[in-house]
A = this chain, B = another copy of it.
């Protein structure tokens, strides 16, 4: 019997190709990029590049649009680290209406300076899965992985003042929430119907993010 090895944070039934990212600088110097598919090493590279570019051009924020079934865990860590170490505010936004940020997408949302969701979007199901060399998958149940990942996301929730219990339940119970419940339970900061209304939202906890008077462009 072989064991399953590479661990991923992916909803099992989602096997899109990797074809996902665009980075654009708008007039108002907000960088907008999209994670619209499975999260891979290429996604992490693009997020790191977007952060670097945003810092170089003095952008006011980076907005990451999430509509993803999840993806590789090590790439997810790299993305969350890049967000944490960024000198510009990073806003993750589950968008458009009907979008999902499952599994790794949920972790990226929780690990962002500002977390936003559009109406009728969902997050959750973040128990990791492992893959055999033959591509077969199964949920990871080992305490070594689950405890580490639970502590990791709980600490990120604490870092940004989010609901630590719900953060842990995404891993341990595959909790799923829609945008209304995510806001009510203090997982996200704001609901917005589109990017324009997201960018007009005034962040009231900016001093917790970068000690700046404003963390999002007005």
Contact = CB atoms under 8 A, between A and B. Distances in A.
Task: Kindly state the interface size class of chain A when it binds its partner.
Answer: 35 or more
Give the number of copies in the complex.
2
Nearest to A11: B148
Nearest to A7: B13
Given A7-B13, A80-B98, A120-B159, A173 B125 contact: no
Interface string A33-47: 000000000000000
Contacts of A127: 143-144
A118 to B, nearest CB: 12
A155 B120 CA distance: 6
Interface of A: 1-8, 11-16, 73-74, 77, 80-81, 84-85, 96-98, 100, 102-103, 120-122, 124-125, 127-130, 132-140, 142-145, 147-152, 154-156, 158-159, 173-178
